[in-house]
Structure 1
Amino acid sequence: MAQRQIGGHFPLNITSFIESNSSSLAERYRLGDSQVCELFGSHPSNERAWVDRAAWLDANANKRANLKQIADVVRKYHRGLPGGKETENSLAKLEREDCLVVVGGQQAGLFGGALLIFYKALSVIQAARDAERRLSRPVVPLFWIAGEDHDFDEANHVNVQVASGEVRRVRIERPDGPRLAVTRTPVSEEQWATALQELAEQLPDTEFKPRLLDRLQSHVADAPSLSLAFARLLADWFGDMGLVLMDADDPDLRALEGPMFRELMLRNDDLAAALKTGESHVSEMGFKLQAETTPGSANLFLHHEQGRLLLHKDKGSFTDRRGNVSYTCGEMIELSATRPDLLSTNALTRPLMQDFVLPVLAAVLGPSEIAYWGILGPAFKEFGMSMPILLPRQSFTYIEPAIVKLLSKYSLTVEEAIVDWESRRAEWLGKQDEWRLEERFRDVKERFRELYAPLMDTVSKVQPGMAGLAESNRDKILEQIAYLETRSTDAIAKRHEASLRQWDRIRQSLSPLDKPQERLYGTVHFWNRYGPDWLKLWSDVPFDEKGGHRLVEGMPG
């Protein structure tokens, strides 16, 4: 690992991790494949792309929502969040006419959700700092919370590791009734109290745990939605880095989105055709579509008493599949003017709305997001827009100090521990067999087959019907030999039980439940283990505009 000294306190070791899926659309874009980059129009490694995008945004400012009004909405939203000097500086920048933004979005996560959300917010902040340096003008990091999404089960949980090493999930159950947007789904005081109590029981006791729980309690004392509690926590974590937060389901924001909703309705058929063209471009390159459009879909939602309803086009009307609602185009346009809070974008129209609302210099996206943005080029063009620079989200695996020691003890690299743990563990255990049991049992089974074969031949000649009995008898004997081998191997494993638990600990830290660390564990898991200084550690990781997966080793001083 490359070693970097941070602030004179501790060394931070960072190295790249080579991804196995190098042929995916997202990875080929990340690496700057010229053919794939044509889908997006630019690449962050091209210095000129940043200058050109900023110039385009300046020239088309009159086609977007009023930035001063957007800034007022964001400032109002922040009144319900923890504040700080850097946040205030960012809000002040957002009110300037020459301000640009770097955005990244994600659905909320209980108690901060998975580590990848933390890393995406970090990527947004670092990219904004980098862009501000490049362009010598204000660039604000803005995290867009997808509170309009209605998949409550994606937002309602967090995973932590208990003292025994097992992974446990803490969750809040969705209330009975229609599937409303997450921001509109009530969470009771009792539900919050229960979730906090369960988290307290599952988290191992550390010196940092009491303060962590107190801080979480302060965010949920008034029984907020999952989205608002999540925003408060992110403001806590990143406020001193200037991160600005926005909820996509904020009614004040919706009030400014009406004109774009109107365009999406009036030109809905053109939108569908553009998306199909984009799908063709991606398919012709040999990639599987990440988010294939549904024939007849309007790519818009309606918030209704029956839940968040996906709208479709049917003989010129906008309706849902179950027939709960049916609006003419004129009625939908009226809604966009009078009740825009009832409307909502989907994954394919949200990027267009985002570009209408904000001067988006660059968007930070995960691999799946990059894959479905691949079809959006024609849609941006259809609506007179230009796709922002797309920045692959930075991805990390954190190597805990105890794990570093275990890797050294068993002569393992991190890569081997993540992708080849099973075979390396078996290989190590085999080396502990001083009796060479595997070799001996293999020899016994081979010699038995040799000795038994002539006997099988003889009995089959005595009576042909006994051939099957002889085979069955042979297999039973081999089965008993295999049983003895298994018991003997288990006995060796028992002798090395403590070491095998250490192997399991390596696996549970780096690749828990055979999943990437950042996708399983919540940030709160490491916050509890290493304290708030662990959160600050990440601000010292150098920014990489191409993203990619890196291994990070280091501890707060």
Structure 2
Amino acid sequence: MRLEQYTQPFASSFYKKYLEDVANLSSFFHCEWNQKALNKRVKEANFTKHKRTELADVITTYMSEYGISKKSSQHINELKDNGVVVIGGQQAGILSGPLYSIHKAISVITLAKQQRETLGVPVIPVFWIAGEDHDIDEINHVYIDRSRKLQKLVYPEKSRTKKIASEATFDQQLIKEYLDEIFKSLPETLYTKDLKSNVLELLDNNLTYTSFFTALMNELFQEEGLLLIDAAYEPLRKLESDYFQLQILHSSELAKVVFEHEEKIALEGFGTPIQAKESAAHLFYVEAGERFLLERVNNQFVHEAKGISFTLDEMMEIAREHPEKLSNNVVTRPIMQEMVFPVLSFIAGPGEIAYWGALKTAFELFDMKMPVLMPRISISIVNANTQSLLEKLSFTIEDVWDGSLQDAKLHYINSNRNEEVPHLIEEIKADLIEKYGKLEQLLMKDGLKLSPLVQKNLKNHEKQLNFINNAIEDTFLSKLDATTNRYDRISMNLMPNDGLQERTYTPIQLMNEYGPSLIKQLLEVPYEFNGKHHVIYL
């Protein structure tokens, strides 16, 4: 195993600024992301305000359905006492969703271990599952390799309602057929059979997006003691009752400060990551598993399309008596997280860092400061075949990211192309157009109204010429296939869908190649939280 580090490819302007010059973003964040900030946070933050016993009980109850390891039990006990947490979260994708979910969990675990040793206090890794999210189209698919091309394979069942992930259920037969198709797309290895059997076993009794996700994540990380909790878990919602009431009472001020702060981000040239509105309530109302975003209109909390309308008093009553009927949005979720957990650091992806930048004054409204926002570890894994191809073709991984590899592939194709062939076909087309034009004029001169027939006949000729041109191109490319396939295999591995590997592939695809010990191997890598992209050669 070899580790290399590179400047983040494909970073947005705001993310790049955060990684390289966060000091100049001080108007958007309370602290930088370094050891000094972590030291200060653990000394100055008020970690006595949290309902530790109730929170520990909620996590214990939630995780007991999936199995609590000895290390997880230790972490729950430390959380109940005086531990602080490193926390990160993600949507509940099928088979964990893209690899960055796994990388986020690795980041949470790694930073917690490092800070436990550095700070000398219990630091606990927590993964917050966004089971309250209802955009199922974001999580209902994986990408598979089919005929040397990536195909988006979507779980086929369509729901008429947009239920939250924690209540969106799979049809048992359909999901098994769907998983079977995924595994059929994988090359058969020593690990395939057992991997598939294990996944299907995890599926038993876990037929919602969130429960299936939780079962898999617990399977992968339980020996590290990663604590898991679903944001939509009803006992957690009950614990959050007081905090929902605070958010409701201050909803008007909250909307105002977020709107104004986001305008400052826009003035700096970084756009509007939240697209906040001054009328926003920044809360959802949940009914029969569906979420409805509320706005404040004439002192009411409303969702006009659904005909939902609540007074302030009614909203407060819902928060007191039925907090499970409320759900956070992108603004109030970070605030709720801070109210519920004693957070030392939040592991954030590029998009999260962008929208957290709009929340500084929102935290201040509730007399809180943001935790240390640590950029998550991003990883690309280079297998032996890809390493060999890179060496044979004399390319680096940076050449893949910056487009040099594809440029070289096109140059190779064009340098072998006989340019006379397409030129001749174009000449034939031009000649036909000219001759048919003359024919049409002669017919019109003789009073024969056959222009539609002439044009139809010309189009038939053009169609046949296009057909033969495509056949020539396909045959030509097939002749070069042995070489172009090398370029394509590198791109498929390292830059699928023209982006980082971690945004497309699931861990199952890599575990099928490397075996169940892959996660353990990845956890042993000496990562640095330095904003670099980590490339691991296996």
Give the shorter-chain TM-score range: 0.7 to 0.9
Alignment pair present for 1:33 and 2:26: no
CA contact (8 A) 2:8 2:531 kept: no
d(CA) in 2 for partners of 1:174, 1:365? 32
State the shift of 1:135 in Å: 1.0
Residues 204, 273 of structure 1: CA spacing in aligned structure 2 closer, same or farther, 3 A cutoff? same
Secondary structure of 2:305's partner? coil
CA contact (8 A) 1:144 1:247 kept: yes
State the shift of 1:267 in Å: 1.0
Residues 33, 495 of structure 1: CA spacing in aligned structure 2 closer, same or farther, 3 A cutoff? same
CA contact (8 A) 1:208 1:528 kept: yes
d(CA) in 2 for partners of 1:18, 1:361? 25
Indicate the residue corresponding to 1:56 in structure 2: 44
State the shift of 1:541 in Å: 2.1
d(CA) in 2 for partners of 1:490, 1:303? 54
Match of 1:518 among 497, 502, 505: 502
Indicate the residue corresponding to 2:232 in structure 1: 249
Alignment pair present for 1:187 and 2:170: yes
CA contact (8 A) 2:166 2:209 kept: yes
Indicate the residue corresponding to 1:422 in structure 2: 406
Q: Which moved further from structure 2: 275-284 or 497-506?
A: 275-284
State the shift of 1:358 in Å: 0.2
Q: Which moved further from structure 2: 239-248 or 486-495?
A: 486-495
Match of 1:169 among 152, 155, 170: 152
Indicate the residue corresponding to 2:256 in structure 1: 273
State the shift of 1:55 in Å: 2.2
Indicate the residue corresponding to 1:411 in structure 2: 394
State the shift of 1:268 in Å: 0.9
How many residues are matched?
A: 498
State the shift of 1:488 in Å: 8.6
1:78-477 pair list within 5 angstroms: 78-96=63-81, 98-162=82-146, 164-305=147-288, 307-420=290-403, 421-429=405-413, 433=416
**1:7-27 C-alpha deviation (Å, 9 max, x unpaired):** xxxx32323244354x61122
Secondary structure of 2:275's partner? coil
State the shift of 1:328 in Å: 0.6
| 2:329 partner amino acid | N
Indicate the residue corresponding to 2:54 in structure 1: 69
Indicate the residue corresponding to 1:8 in structure 2: none
d(CA) in 1 for partners of 2:186, 2:521? 21
Q: Which moved further from structure 2: 320-329 or 373-382?
A: 320-329
CA contact (8 A) 2:406 2:487 kept: no
State the shift of 1:493 in Å: 4.4
| 1:14 partner amino acid | E
d(CA) in 2 for partners of 1:44, 1:242? 24
State the shift of 1:121 in Å: 0.8
Q: Which moved further from structure 2: 483-492 or 371-380?
A: 483-492
**1:176-218 C-alpha deviation (Å, 9 max, x unpaired):** 3321211012223223322222223222211111111111111
CA contact (8 A) 1:114 1:159 kept: no
d(CA) in 2 for partners of 1:302, 1:484? 59
d(CA) in 1 for partners of 2:536, 2:7? 10
What value does the CA root-mean-square deviation take over the aligned residues? 2.5
**1:202-250 C-alpha deviation (Å, 9 max, x unpaired):** 2221111111111111111124211011011011111112211010000
Secondary structure of 2:28's partner? helix
**1:364-420 C-alpha deviation (Å, 9 max, x unpaired):** 111111001001000000111110000111112211110111111111111112322
d(CA) in 2 for partners of 1:188, 1:89? 36
Alignment pair present for 1:497 and 2:481: yes
d(CA) in 2 for partners of 1:548, 1:157? 28
Match of 1:542 among 526, 532, 535: 526
State the shift of 1:287 in Å: 1.3
CA contact (8 A) 1:148 1:249 kept: yes
d(CA) in 2 for partners of 1:26, 1:249? 29
d(CA) in 1 for partners of 2:303, 2:2? 53
d(CA) in 2 for partners of 1:191, 1:379? 44
Match of 2:9 among 19, 22, 35: 19
Q: TM-score by structure 2 length?
A: 0.87
Q: Which runs of 5+ in 1 are unaligned?
A: 1-10, 449-481
Residues 209, 327 of structure 1: CA spacing in aligned structure 2 closer, same or farther, 3 A cutoff? same
Secondary structure of 1:269's partner? helix
Q: Which moved further from structure 2: 519-528 or 191-200?
A: 191-200
| 2:161 partner amino acid | P
CA contact (8 A) 2:9 2:401 kept: no
Secondary structure of 2:125's partner? strand
CA contact (8 A) 1:44 1:391 kept: yes
Secondary structure of 1:222's partner? coil
Residues 483, 426 of structure 1: CA spacing in aligned structure 2 closer, same or farther, 3 A cutoff? farther
**1:326-382 C-alpha deviation (Å, 9 max, x unpaired):** 111001101111000000000111000000000011101111110010010000001
CA contact (8 A) 1:29 1:37 kept: no
